[in-house]
Structure 1
Amino acid sequence: MRETPTPTTAEAAFEPTPTFRPNAKYVLLLGLMCALPAISTDIYLPSLPDVARDLDTSATAAQLTMSAMMLGGAVGQLVIGPVSDRFGRRAPVLIGVALHVVTSLLCALVVNIEALIGLRLAQGFFNAAATVVAMAVIRDRFVGADASRLISRLMLVIGIAPLFAPSVGGLIAGQAGWRAVFVALAVFGAALWLVVWRRLPETLPVERRRDGGIRTALRGYARLVRDRHFLALAVMPGLGVGVLMSYVVGSPFVLQEGYGLTSQQFAVLFAINGLGLVAGAQVNASIVRRIAPIRIIRVALPVSLALTLVLLAIAVTGFGGLPLLLVVLWLVLAMVNLAPPNASALALSRHGEVAGTAAAFMGATGAAISAVVSPLSSVLGADATAMALVMVGSAAAALLVLALATPAYRRGGAWNG
């Protein structure tokens, strides 16, 4: 029997659009909106060593440009989510993407690492609008397994777009320098702005918008914080992102400096590993209509932890060398996208009346966790062992949250929302 959360009384007034069926163009648009922060991160990855050399700084300082963007994204989502509940979905995303373009161009002009860190913080704040609005739009029209299935389909776009980002970024940086990468980000942002302006409909009618300012937003967040099951579900995707980001930020140094791969070889391996992310998301999309989302989470998280422990053992002992390390790493990444779409869909289904605020809370949690996790592998040694250790910590934390803060593993295993 399927296990689905029971809607609250307030939820009844905010049922999704039952007859809407997303076509491929609609999924592509929402996917590109969600992928904007990932593309802004991944296209820049091969340039990290060059940035450190050109701006005469350390690898840790260069990685802080990644953490700053994630922190900016966390704060941006907390602000933009309630704004989208108050003023609708279109205006916030159009303003946010436009300012992403401006900050991208300014990043290309910096002369020191401090300025780049500050501008990446602002860039993360502004492009958070694209992600939080995309998630809110999904909740405006879908709940439960339908929402989980759509989020998993979005992962195809979110996964494929960054597959090519490091290759494109490496090619651009190799031909024109790392500053040209930010010019390319500005061009991409301008193109996305145009498509959103022309193709994204408003999904939040005026009668469903929430009046008020800061106090209303704070009341919305207070309501979410009081819902412990929502909190648990909201944190789990962020911890899944923690596993991913420990790889994303650590892999350039582990594979290029630790194992001596060239930037081109790294880009190819990054793309192959990205296929694991896409594969996991599509497996989830195909099974979520037959298996309850919480059941998928119950299996995915323990398997993820087991795989990260195997990865750590390989990194510590060197058993199997780089080939075995890459095989297990691919499997770890394939598991990353099984739990988050289901946890996100279950969390959003509990608070449809403040979908923007709920989506912002989840996104901010993920971005904050990523900001904390990103520099850890460098602090711990910037090698394969450090990267794997951070992955183990994130996977273990996600499993502990599921086991201790939800009824998922209690006798009977029923999820009552």
Structure 2
Amino acid sequence: MMDNSEKLKNIVPLLALLTAFPAFSTDMILPAIPSLALMWNESIAVINLILICFFITYGFFLLFYGPISDRYGRRKPLIIGISLYIFASVLCAMANSAATLIAFRILQAAGAAASAALSMAMTKDIFSGAERQRILAYIAIIMALAPMFAPIVGGWLLTYFSWHWIFVAQGIMGAIGLLGVLRTPETLKEASQTPLSKVMHSYGNLLLNRNYVIMVLVMSVSLLPLYSFIAGSSALYINGFGLSEQNFSYFFAFNALALMAGSMSCLKLTDRMNPRHLITTGFAGIVIGAVLILVIGQRGPWSFAIPMALITYSIGISRPPSNHLVLEQVHKDAGSASSLLIFTYFTLGAMGMWLVSQEWMERMQILGSITLICGALTLVAWMILQKKGIAAGQ
């Protein structure tokens, strides 16, 4: 039986890597989006489908991996999913048009979906209570390195090689994750006895869990501005402010650093401050950042980056306790609960990506409006939930 120090040393880095798969798979390609649009003579809205279709497919397949892992364990679905991810990454590297790259990205997402949902389920398998909340904060800190370095690595690869090597790098990352899973024992202590034909019924039970559904929706809306920023950032910095692909990657990393700083602050403050107050502070910070983007965001890259950093910091400080609160609403079917949670994150995130890709108004105004509306909605909803006692699970 592993003690706590062994768990942290051996399991947490693997859990963080698995959770970071979507960040590596999306953020590494971001510096190439404007150049791909020019090379293939497509609009940004079309090229952004390599992000949007990835997110939608990723979320859809999460619904399958979770309950299957509750029935057969975490290792087998992870091995199958990561192997598919590696194969699809090689295909993406060989794509010769926007249509083929979008198709191969869909296949890549189908494999990557095994990682994030099952890593969260493994966290629930191994840790509990306040310890789980600390582990989620540790994972969030390590995971924040992915969006920080992924676009920088992508920018470097574009400087010295071609965009194809971005997907070669993702395949290598998948191989590292696969080796880690092969060396990790099964974490599920007691498998569900539900027959495979009925394994998806666990979602029906979760949808009847009123507190779980409400908390999932509120926390998912709070993340929608982050996904909108991911899809719109390269066009804003490269096309809007005229930055190079490499300089864009540094500005994107600055916002990722703010996300990590928020997670680190959460870790430091968890034992001193009520987690509900951390969530309230985070949601309020999103609203303030949105107002600043709408007022001063157009003035220059730093006038946009600093308010956006406040938003990502606020998300970072609120996400670990909010994820913990959501998981506290369920007592079984952790894989299904994790899958449905992340499915909702990515589905609403894809909606934000689609909205920010449109040409209804200036892209900066679209992003600021999305962030203000989502921040205000989640803050008001969160205050109501606390008054009604639904948020008392912490």
Normalising by structure 2, report the TM-score. 0.93
Q: 1:217 to 1:301 in 2, by over 3 A?
A: same
DSSP-derived class of the 2:94 partner = coil
1:118 aligns with 2:103: yes
Match of 2:181 among 175, 190, 196: 196
Residue 182 of structure 1 and its aligned partner are, at CA, apart by: 1.0
Alignment of 1:27-106 (within 5 A): 27-106=12-91
Aligned residue in 1 for 2:302: 323
1:351 aligns with 2:334: no
**Stretch deviating more after TM superposition (252-261 or 237-246):** 237-246
> How far apart are the structure 2 equivalents of 1:144 and 1:305?
30
1:415 aligns with 2:392: yes
- Give the length in aligned residue pairs: 392
1:391 aligns with 2:371: yes
Alignment of 1:18-417 (within 5 A): 20-21=4-5, 22-198=7-183, 200-205=184-189, 207-218=190-201, 220-315=202-297, 318=298, 321-379=300-358, 380-381=360-361, 383-404=363-384, 406=385, 408-410=386-388, 415=392
Residue 234 of structure 1 and its aligned partner are, at CA, apart by: 1.7
Q: Which amino acid is the alignment partner of residue 341 of structure 1? A: P
Residue 413 of structure 1 and its aligned partner are, at CA, apart by: 9.2
Q: Which amino acid is the alignment partner of residue 339 of structure 1? A: S
Q: Which amino acid is the alignment partner of residue 257 of structure 1? A: N
Q: 1:325 to 1:54 in 2, by over 3 A?
A: closer
Q: Which amino acid is the alignment partner of residue 261 of structure 1? A: L
Q: 1:325 to 1:391 in 2, by over 3 A?
A: same
Show CA shifts across 1:278-301 (max 9, x none). 000011112223333223213321
Q: Which amino acid is the alignment partner of residue 353 of structure 1? A: K
Normalising by structure 1, report the TM-score. 0.88
Residue 60 of structure 1 and its aligned partner are, at CA, apart by: 0.5
Show CA shifts across 1:190-220 (max 9, x none). 121112211x221113x433421242322x1
> How far apart are the structure 2 equivalents of 1:126 and 1:171?
26
Question: Percentage identity across aligned positions?
Answer: 28
DSSP-derived class of the 1:56 partner = coil
**Stretch deviating more after TM superposition (385-394 or 249-258):** 385-394
Show CA shifts across 1:171-194 (max 9, x none). 212322112211111111112111
> How far apart are the structure 2 equivalents of 1:260 and 1:414?
45
User: Is contact 1:82-1:356 (8 Å) kept?
Assistant: yes
Q: Which amino acid is the alignment partner of residue 334 of structure 1? A: Y
User: Is contact 2:225-2:367 (8 Å) kept?
Assistant: no
> How far apart are the structure 2 equivalents of 1:399 and 1:213?
40
Contiguous gaps of at least 5 residues in structure 2: none
User: Is contact 2:56-2:347 (8 Å) kept?
Assistant: yes
**Stretch deviating more after TM superposition (280-289 or 78-87):** 280-289
> How far apart are the structure 1 equivalents of 2:310 and 2:226?
12
Q: 1:78 to 1:137 in 2, by over 3 A?
A: same
**Stretch deviating more after TM superposition (30-39 or 152-161):** 152-161
> How far apart are the structure 1 equivalents of 2:296 and 2:367?
12
User: Is contact 2:232-2:363 (8 Å) kept?
Assistant: yes
Q: 1:290 to 1:263 in 2, by over 3 A?
A: same
> How far apart are the structure 2 equivalents of 1:397 and 1:68?
26
Residue 46 of structure 1 and its aligned partner are, at CA, apart by: 0.5
Q: 1:382 to 1:122 in 2, by over 3 A?
A: farther
Residue 108 of structure 1 and its aligned partner are, at CA, apart by: 1.6
> How far apart are the structure 2 equivalents of 1:358 and 1:327?
35
Residue 35 of structure 1 and its aligned partner are, at CA, apart by: 0.1
Give the structure, 1 or 2, with the largest relative contact order (CA under 8 Å, sep 6 or more).
1
Residue 371 of structure 1 and its aligned partner are, at CA, apart by: 1.0
Q: 1:226 to 1:414 in 2, by over 3 A?
A: closer
**Stretch deviating more after TM superposition (31-40 or 235-244):** 235-244
**In angstroms, what is the RMSD of aligned CA positions?**
2.1
> How far apart are the structure 2 equivalents of 1:33 and 1:304?
27
Show CA shifts across 1:59-118 (max 9, x none). 100001100000011111111000110110111111101100011111122232222222
User: Is contact 1:250-1:382 (8 Å) kept?
Assistant: no
Q: Which amino acid is the alignment partner of residue 374 of structure 2? A: S
Show CA shifts across 1:220-277 (max 9, x none). 1111111221112222332233111111111111111111111111111111221100
> How far apart are the structure 2 equivalents of 1:44 and 1:321?
24
> How far apart are the structure 1 equivalents of 2:172 and 2:17?
14
User: Is contact 1:145-1:292 (8 Å) kept?
Assistant: no
Q: Which amino acid is the alignment partner of residue 378 of structure 2? A: A
Show CA shifts across 1:303-330 (max 9, x none). 3212212222223xx4x54333222221
User: Is contact 2:228-2:356 (8 Å) kept?
Assistant: yes
